Amino acid sequence: MSEHVFLEMSDVSMTFPGVKALDQVRLDIREGEVHALMGENGAGKSTLIKIISGVQQPDPGARILMDGEEVQFPNVHASIKHGINAIHQDLSLFPNLTVAENIYLGRSKNGKVDWKECDRIAVEALKRLEVQMDIHELLGNLSVAKQQLVAIARAISLSSRLLIMDEPTAALSFSEVRMLYEIIRKLKKENIAILFISHKLDEVFEVSDRVTVLKDGKYVGCKDIGELNESTLVQMMVGRSVTYEALNQESYAAEKVLEVRNISKEGNFKDISFTLHKGEILAFTGLVGAGRSETVKALFGLNPPDQGEILIHGQKAELKNVTQAMKHKIAFIPEDRHHEGLILNMSMEDNITLSILNQMLGKSRFISSRKRAGISGEYVNTLNIRPGQIYKMAKNFSGGNQQKIAVAKWLVTKPDILIIDEPTHGVDIASKTEIHKLLKSLAKQGMAIIMVSSEWQEVFALSDRVIVMRHGRIVHEDSTRDGDQNLMMEKAILGEVKA
Ligand SMILES: Nc1ncnc2c1ncn2[C@@H]1O[C@H](COP(=O)(O)OP(=O)(O)OP(=O)(O)O)[C@@H](O)[C@H]1O
The pLDDT, as a whole number, for residue 499 is 36
Residues 335/427, Cβ–Cβ less than 8 Å? no
With a pLDDT cut of 90, the percent of the chain lying above it is 50
Q: Are strands 193-197 and 34-38 parallel, antiparallel or unpaired?
A: parallel
Domain presence at residue 250: no
Give the C-alpha separation, 192 to 170, whole Å. Answer: 22
**pLDDT, tens digit (0-9, with 9 covering 90-100), for 242-264:** 665 666 655 677 899 999 999 99
Q: Are residues 304 and 385 in the same domain?
A: yes
Edge-to-edge strand list for the sheet holding 269-277: 269-277, 256-265, 307-312, 315-316
In this structure, is residue 248 part of a structural domain?
Answer: no
CA of 242 from ligand 1 middle (Å) equals: 23
Residues 207, 274 within the same domain: no
**C-alpha 106 – ligand 1 centre gap (Å):** 29
* Ligand 1 atom nearest to 217, measured from its CA: 14
Is the distance from CB of 378 to CB of 352 less than 8 angstroms? no
* C-alpha separations of 444 from 203, 328, 413 in Å: 33, 20, 17
Atom of ligand 1 nearest to the CA of 401: 26
Which of 212, 238, 264 marks a domain boundary? 238
251 in any annotated domain: no
Final residue before a domain boundary, out of 238, 265, 285: 238
* Whole-number Å distance between alpha carbons of 227 and 235: 13
- Paired strand residues for 478: 466
Establish whether this prediction's ipTM goes over 0.85. Answer: yes
Residue 431 or residue 498, greater confidence: 431
Say yes or no: 234 and 260 in one domain. Answer: no
Asked if the structure places residue 297 within a domain, the reply is: yes
Give the ligand 1 atom nearest the CA of 47: 18
Indicate whether residue 399 lines ligand 1 (CB < 6 A).
yes
Q: How far is the CA of 62 from the centre of ligand 1 (A)?
A: 18
Q: Are residues 216 and 274 in the same domain?
A: no
Residues 399 and 456 in one domain: yes
Please tell me the predicted confidence (pLDDT) of residue 457.
78
DSSP 229-257: -HHHHHHHHHSS-------TTPPPPS-EE
Tens digit of each residue's pLDDT (9 = 90 or more) over 419-444: 998 888 778 887 788 888 888 888 98
66/131 same-domain check? yes
pTM of the model: 0.77
- Quick check: 479 pLDDT over 80? yes
The pLDDT assigned to 8 comes to 97
Domain presence at residue 247: no
Within a domain: 464: yes
Per the document, the length of the chain is: 499
b/e sequence 97-119, b meaning 16+ C-beta within 10 Å: bbbbbbbbbeeeeeeeeeeeebb
Q: Are 12 and 58 in contact (CB under 8 A)?
A: yes
How many domains are contained in the chain?
2
pLDDT tens digits for range 200-209: 888 899 999 9
pLDDT above 60: residue 498: no
> Considering Cα of 434, then 438, then 439, then 444, what sign does the dihedral take?
positive
Domain around 485: 256-494
Question: Which of 374, 344, 379 is CA-nearest to residue 359?
Answer: 374
Q: What is the CATH number of the domain that holds 405?
A: 3.40.50.300
Q: Does 30 fall in a domain? A: yes
Instruction: Tell me the pLDDT band of 315, cut-offs 50, 70 and 90.
Output: very high
Residue 187 φ/ψ, nearest 5 degrees: -65, -40
Q: Is the CB of 237 under 6 A from ligand 1?
A: no
What separation in Å is there between the alpha carbon of 150 and the centre of ligand 1?
28
What is the DSSP track for 390-405? TTSBGGGS-HHHHHHH
Kindly give, in sequence order, each residue whose CB lies less than 8 Å from that of residue 397, ignoring residues fewer than 6 positions away. 42, 348, 385, 405
Bridge partner list, 77: none
405 in contact with ligand 1, CB cutoff 6 A? no
Task: Find all residues with CB under 8 Å of 292, minimum gap 6, and list them.
Answer: 284, 285, 286, 421, 452, 469
Instruction: Give yes or no: residues 271 and 221 share one domain.
Output: no
Are 226 and 108 contained in the same domain? yes
Is the pLDDT assigned to residue 449 strictly greater than 80? yes
Long-range Cβ contact pairs of 490-499 (< 8 A, separation 24 or more): 492/285, 492/286, 492/287, 492/290, 492/468, 493/174, 493/287, 495/468, 495/470, 497/470, 497/471, 497/473, 498/473
Tell whether 119 is covered by a domain.
yes
CA dihedral 349, 353, 354, 360 (to 10 degrees): -120
Residues 457 and 338 both lie in one domain:
yes
Least confident of 26-30, 38-42, 174-178, 328-332: 174-178
The angle at the Cα of 336, spanning 404 to 90, to the nearest 5 degrees, equals: 110
CA 73 to chain centre: 28
Check if 44 has its Cβ closer than 6 Å to any atom of ligand 1.
Answer: yes
Between 230-238 and 429-444, two packed helices, what is the crossing angle to 10 degrees? 90
Is residue 483 lining ligand 1, measured as CB closer than 6 Å?
Answer: no
Beta strand 417-421 with 448-452 is: parallel
| Residues 270-292 pLDDT 10s | 999 999 999 999 999 887 678 88
Q: Is 54 in the pocket of ligand 1 (CB under 6 A)?
A: no
Would the CB of 400 count as within 6 Å of ligand 1? yes
What is d(CA 182, CA 180) in angstroms, rounded to the nearest whole number? 5
pLDDT in the model for residue 174 = 67
Atom 2, ligand 1: residue with shortest CA distance: 396
H or E element, residue 459: helix 456-462
Given 206, 238, 270, the domain boundary residue is 238
Same domain, 34 and 110: yes
| 391-429 residues labelled b (16+ CB within 10 A) or e (exposed) | ebebebbbbbbbbbbbbbbbbbeebbbbbbbbbbbbbbb
Most confident of 166-175, 252-261, 304-313: 304-313
Together in a domain, 312 and 216: no
Residue 197 sits in the same domain as residue 308? no
Going by pLDDT thresholds of 50, 70 and 90, the confidence category of residue 483 is: low
